[in-house]
């Protein structure tokens, strides 16, 4: 009941349902948004692909290989963003709020959005359990499950990456580039938010349980609305960072044997 009140109050005060009339809050072109988004994904996959053979050649864990792939892909992705910012600068956007205001909106919107995501994920998990008779996995994300069983250098390295670098890059790619491009392409801010959220959830296919994908879609909706309302990605980054950090904390709490 308390959770419902928090969510309803946030919807009313923040106005999650009301998006700007403009189809996009970015001054970048549609092709540029699509190509840079694709470039970031390909460089991330390249980093993972270059480290994948290490698993069969050396006595290391999957999480260590995955972490090294993230570390290898990160500088290449940042270099791409630096080149784009240097040679293809955006024009001033009068619809954008201040950075501090965007951060405050992210902090204020995190709790209600997290409650909705958890509610959706829990509902679909219960439905799957009723249909299959199988209990839900203790940890819903494959990387988090591996983290709970790991020790050594990979633990702090992975935690830092997944709470700082990954949220930043994913928000730049999905909400900073793809969402405005889709909004301009479809002529609708809401279409841009919905399509981006669908792709955001599908990008986690295989890493999370199937019943967890609807929750990620809802998370993407919330992040997309924040992006559209503020004209910035800082609010979405704040929510994404807190979401990942809280998931790690809850995973550790739920698996005390790993501490």
Indicate whether 4 pLDDT > 80.
Answer: no
Dist CA 36 CA 204 (whole Å) = 20
Instruction: Name the residue with tokens 């900073």.
Output: 176
Average pLDDT, the chain: 86
Q: Tell me the per-residue pLDDT of 122-135, one tens digit each, with 9 for 90 and over.
A: 999 888 888 888 77
- Tens of pLDDT, residue by residue over 27-81, are 678 888 899 999 999 999 999 999 999 988 888 999 999 999 999 999 999 999 9
Give the three-class secondary structure for 1.
Answer: coil
Q: Which residues pair with 63 in a beta bridge?
A: none
Tokens of 139: 């940890």
Answer whether 73's CB lies under 8 Å from 46's CB. yes
pLDDT band for position 93 (50/70/90)?
low
> What tokens appear for 78 in the block?
């940042």
**Contacting residues for 25 by C-beta, under 8 A, at least 6 apart:** 93, 95, 96, 180, 227, 228, 230, 231
Answer positive or negative: Cα dihedral of 145, 146, 150, 152: negative
DSSP string computed for 85-103: HHHSPPPP-TTPPPHHHHH
Do the Cβ atoms of 239 and 222 come closer than 8 Å? yes
Q: What is the pTM of this model?
A: 0.89
> What's the DSSP call for residue 133?
-
Assigned token pair, 213: 């994908």
Return d(Cα 200, Cα 218) in angstroms, integer.
Answer: 10
Closest CA relative to residue 178, chosen from 204, 205, 198: 198
Cα separation, 150 vs 108, whole angstroms = 33
């Amino acid at each position: 009941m308390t959770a419902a009140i928090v969510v309803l109050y946030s919807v009313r005060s923040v106005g999650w349902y009301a998006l700007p009339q403009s189809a996009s809050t970015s001054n970048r072109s549609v092709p540029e948004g699509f190509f840079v988004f694709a470039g970031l994904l390909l460089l991330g996959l390249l980093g993972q692909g270059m480290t994948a053979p290490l698993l069969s050649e050396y006595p290391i864990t999957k999480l260590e290989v995955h972490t090294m792939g993230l570390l290898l892909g990160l500088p290449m992705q940042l270099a791409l963003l630096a080149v784009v910012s240097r040679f293809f600068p955006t024009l001033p956007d009068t619809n954008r709020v201040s950075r501090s205001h965007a951060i405050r909106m992210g902090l204020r919107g995190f709790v209600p959005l997290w409650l909705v995501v958890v509610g959706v994920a829990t509902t679909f998990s219960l439905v799957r359990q009723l249909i299959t008779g199988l209990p839900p996995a203790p940890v819903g994300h494959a990387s988090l499950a591996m983290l709970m069983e790991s020790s050594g250098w990979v633990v702090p390295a992975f935690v830092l990456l997944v709470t700082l670098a990954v949220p930043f890059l994913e928000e730049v790619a999905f909400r900073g580039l793809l969402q405005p491009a889709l909004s301009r392409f479809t002529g609708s801010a809401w279409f841009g938010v919905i399509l981006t959220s669908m792709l955001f959830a599908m990008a986690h296919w295989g890493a999370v349980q199937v019943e967890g994908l609807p929750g990620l879609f809802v998370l993407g909706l919330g992040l997309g609305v924040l992006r559209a309302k503020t004209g910035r990605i800082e609010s979405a980054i704040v929510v994404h960072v807190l979401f990942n950090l809280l998931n790690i904390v809850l995973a550790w709490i739920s698996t005390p044997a790993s501490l």
